[in-house]
Amino acid sequence: MARSVPSFDELMADCEHSAVHLEMRDVYTSEDEAQDFAAWQAGHRHDPTDRASWWTPWLDLIAATTARGVTVRRARVVSQPVTAYIAYEHACTHQNIAAGEHVRWLPRSRASDLLLPGNDLWVMDDRLVRFNLFTGNGEFLHHV
């Protein structure tokens, strides 16, 4: 019998205590962020006080999740010097924090003695893992 895989939104809706996101790539090229990244490279900066200009459905999902009492944490393992994309992510992290996420950064050089998986992932309620698979140039492939 075939099992259906829940969507990410469904997984977040079922989360009761914690959702932890590990990011380990230096570049992501999702279609969702390509325009924002290009605008940032051209000099545009979001005004943190103008929430309507940068609030997204993703941030709605995170805010709804944290409002239910779920702790959402994100760890970014990054190379140094950072890539332009990581500098962009850093500049936009105020958005994640406004939605209720706890975000931390770890230089890759300080992660050498940690046992880390080969792919980005989410861990939900310390019981379920969802891996995010990407191509070599940062395009999203699928979840497993």
Domain assignments of the chain as residue spans, ordered by start: 18-42+52-143
Q: For residue 85, what are the CA distances in angstroms to 41, 74, 132?
A: 9, 17, 18
- The mean of the pLDDT values for the chain is 92
Give this prediction's pTM. 0.90
What is the per-residue pLDDT for 6?
Answer: 87
Residue 36 · residue 64 · CB < 8 Å: no
Q: Does 2 have pLDDT greater than 60?
A: no
Count other Cβ atoms within 10 Å, centred on residue 20: 17
Residue 63: pLDDT band by 50, 70, 90 thresholds?
very high
Residue 31: pLDDT band by 50, 70, 90 thresholds?
confident
Q: Does 68 have pLDDT greater than 70?
A: yes
> Tokens representing 1?
């019998």
Residue 56: pLDDT band by 50, 70, 90 thresholds?
very high
What is the per-residue pLDDT for 80?
Answer: 96
Cα 135 to chain centroid, rounded:
16
Strands (E) located in the chain? 18-23, 71-78, 102-107, 120-124, 128-134, 140-143
Q: Does 82 have pLDDT greater than 70?
A: yes
What is the per-residue pLDDT for 1?
Answer: 53
Residue 3: pLDDT band by 50, 70, 90 thresholds?
low
What is the per-residue pLDDT for 135?
Answer: 84
Question: Looking at 32-46, 58-72, 86-100, 119-133, which range is the least confident one?
Answer: 32-46
